[in-house]
Amino acid sequence: MNANGEPIVDVKNLTVGYGDHVVLRDINFQVRSGEVFIIVGRSGSGKSTLLKHLIGLYPPISGEVWIEGKNLITADRKERQHLLRQFGVLYQSGALFGSMTVLENVRLPLDEFTDLPDLARDLVALSKLKLVGLSGAEHSMPSELSGGMQKRAAMARAMAMDPRILFLDEPSVGLDPITSAGLDQLIKELSGYFGITFVIVTHELDSIYAVGSRVIMVDDETQTIIAEGSPAELRDKSADPRVRSFFHRKSTPDQLAGETVPA
């Protein structure tokens, strides 16, 4: 990884939720350029909600989200459009447009926002599909693909514009272990070769260890970040039973009772 220390996403005192219902409060963290930043937590802990606020899909209850030194929340329309083009998003369900072929889905941002020649758009879209292992499926409709293939096509669409930041919501869900490992490899390559920053919401410990440079864990009871560090640090050094139970695949903190807790 080539994280260079410069914060590309800066979250300040962010409180997120729906209406008056607070899910997470006073969240603060920074994502450095080029790093693979992972957000973990139990089901229902607010990981996806946090991600949706980071990408400006929902307005926060309070706080700020700065992307590349610009406040996404208060940005005017033009600035916001510019910021939105700096990142790609992979949604949990894939969210491919059902009325378009896979190729048209990947081409869509290139058609809308670039001046590339027609053939070039096809080639770029095809090369992205090749990267996610979907060669040959370019003329298929999304409904003709399996869930895992849809996810990979959506990943290709998220990467279409060579974004500087990729937000991935549960990228491994619905993928077989081999494809999932391939996706991890792709994340490492994109991060390594091009310095693309990743913000990933996931449960998959294998992925976290394989690609994660830094992890935060959010908790629904305290509604805060309860741990921050590298995956190995959280696994080996955290004294918090919630963190340990997550990273040691134990169903409850009680099951860790007999284990030695690091000082």
Partner 1 sequence: MQALDQPENAVAIQLRPEAGGHVSLALKGRLDINSTAVCWRELDKRLHPLKVKTLDVDASHLDFSGGIGIALLRYLSEGGMTPGAQVSIRGLSRELEKLLSTFTTEDFRAYQPHKPANVRIPEEIGASIKSLLQDLREQVAFIGSVVVALPPAIVRPRRMRWGEVRRIIETAGANALPVIGIFSFLVGLVLALEGTKPLAQFGAQLYIADVIGFSSIRDTGPLVTAVMLAGRSGSAFAAELGTMKVNEELDALTTMGLSPVRFLVVQRIVGALILTPLLTLYAMVMGILGGVMLMRFQGFPPMMIYHQIIERVHMGDLFVGLGKALVFGIIIGGVGCLRGLQTKEGPQAVGVSTTRSVVASILLVIVANTLFSAAQYVITP
Summarize as ranges the residues that interact with partner 1 (CB under 8 A): 82, 85, 98-99, 101, 103, 111-117, 119-120, 122-124, 126-128, 130-131, 135-136, 138-139, 141-143, 159, 161-164, 189-190, 192-194, 196
Question: Rounded to the nearest whole angstrom, what is the least distance from the CB of residue 197 to partner 1 in the complex?
Answer: 12
Question: Rounded to the nearest whole angstrom, what is the least distance from the CB of residue 78 to partner 1 in the complex?
Answer: 10
Q: Which is nearer to partner 1, 101 or 223 (CB)?
A: 101
Question: Rounded to the nearest whole angstrom, what is the least distance from the CB of residue 131 to partner 1 in the complex?
Answer: 6
How many C-beta atoms surround the C-beta of residue 83 within 10 A?
A: 20
- d(CA 179, CA 169) in angstroms, rounded, equals 16
Nearest CA to 203 among 233, 236, 170? 170
- d(CA 247, CA 75) in angstroms, rounded, equals 38
Question: Rounded to the nearest whole angstrom, what is the least distance from the CB of residue 47 to partner 1 in the complex?
Answer: 23
Q: What residues have CB less than 8 Å from 201, skipping those under 6 apart?
A: 38, 39, 40, 47, 48, 50, 51, 168, 169, 170
Q: Which is nearer to partner 1, 99 or 252 (CB)?
A: 99
Nearest CA to 131 among 166, 156, 164, 101? 156
Rg (CA), the chain: 19
Q: Which is nearer to partner 1, 165 or 243 (CB)?
A: 165
Expressed in angstroms, the distance from the first to the final Cα of the chain is 30
Q: Which is nearer to partner 1, 69 or 117 (CB)?
A: 117
Q: Which is nearer to partner 1, 13 or 135 (CB)?
A: 135
Question: Rounded to the nearest whole angstrom, what is the least distance from the CB of residue 132 to partner 1 in the complex?
Answer: 10
